[in-house]
Chains A and B, each alone.
Chain A
Amino acid sequence: MIKSIAHVNVYVLDQDKALDFYKNKLEFEVGDDMTIEGGFRWLTVYPKSQPQLQLVLAEPQEGPMFTKEAAIKIRSLIEEGAFGAGVFETDDCQQTYDELVAKGVEFIQPPTEQLYGVEAMGKDDSGNWFSLVQRGK
């Protein structure tokens, strides 16, 4: 029986830049950062209080999984904001939004009341969107 989710994949355009974004702007911690035989970089990050669920930051590149054309298409889709990193939770959406804006994080929607709480929508350095949600009571 599946008991939990361990890793979730997020395609990024540049792992170094993505690491800087998630670590230094979103203040995630680095789970693993290791170069595997064959040159693949296994890079994972997680919110400090949730080490059991890690985001894998992977670049779409020509190789066993993608043809050169497919990798280019996926990169283009990432840049267009076709993909999302998911929903991130906060205790205070407005405060966290203000802090992230001050750090240069781009938002496409400021904190807005929703049925489920307060939500802002931002983008990572590659263009992946994410929601920042403060759950309602």
Chain B
Amino acid sequence: MAANNRFKRLCSGRDFIADNYLETFSLTDAAKNSLMSPYHFSRAFKETYGETPNEFVIKLRIEKAKQLLITENFSVSEVCERVGYLSLGSFSSLFLKHVGLPPTSYRRTLWKLSSEPFRYPSQVIPACYAFHFLNKSVN
């Protein structure tokens, strides 16, 4: 029961981050939801989820940015702001590091591949699903 309760408390902190990742908040704020000290929370988070709280925030923001770049017509600057970054340069560097392409190139590449505006191309999902559900030929 103790292990289960500890996991539940940790999940509360993770849920807090997932609910607030677009805003500015501190590690202390997140740790409070887990009833842990910031240090203990950070260590337990890494042990349990394989990433630090900060890495989790970055992952969520980058995923949101990818979604906005493909499904909306916001400028890259607007996307940067909407996912919680003040510096376009920092955002673009982070995006490039995690995605492998700068934001503009990512959008341009996927938009070019997709046959429908503001929809992901089938190439972003495993080919077996594209083949079976969308009748996309295997290259």
Contact = CB atoms under 8 A, between A and B. Distances in A.
Interface in B1-53: 1, 3-5, 7, 11, 14, 18, 48-50
Nearest to A63: B133
A48 B49 contact: yes
Main secondary structure of the interface of A (DSSP, over half): loop
B134 A64 contact: yes
**Interface size range of chain A in the complex:** 20 to 34
Interface stretch (B73-81, B86-94, B100-108, B120-128): B120-128
Given A27-B11, A34-B124, A49-B49, A92 B135 contact: no
Interface stretch (A37-45, A77-85, A113-121): A37-45
Contacts of A27: 11
B11 A48 contact: yes
Interface residues of B, number: 31
A56 B14 contact: no
Given A27-B11, A36-B121, A48-B49, A95 B1 contact: yes
Interface string B65-78: 00100110000000
A36 B134 CA distance: 9
Contacts, number: 77
A91 B3 CA distance: 6
A63 B1 CA distance: 47
B33 to A, nearest CB: 14
A5 to B, nearest CB: 12
Contacts of A56: 129
A37 B48 contact: no
A35 interface: yes
18 contacts: A27-B11, A35-B120, A36-B122, A37-B114, A37-B115, A37-B134, A38-B116, A38-B133, A40-B133, A42-B124, A42-B129, A48-B49, A49-B48, A49-B50, A51-B50, A56-B129, A64-B134, A95-B5
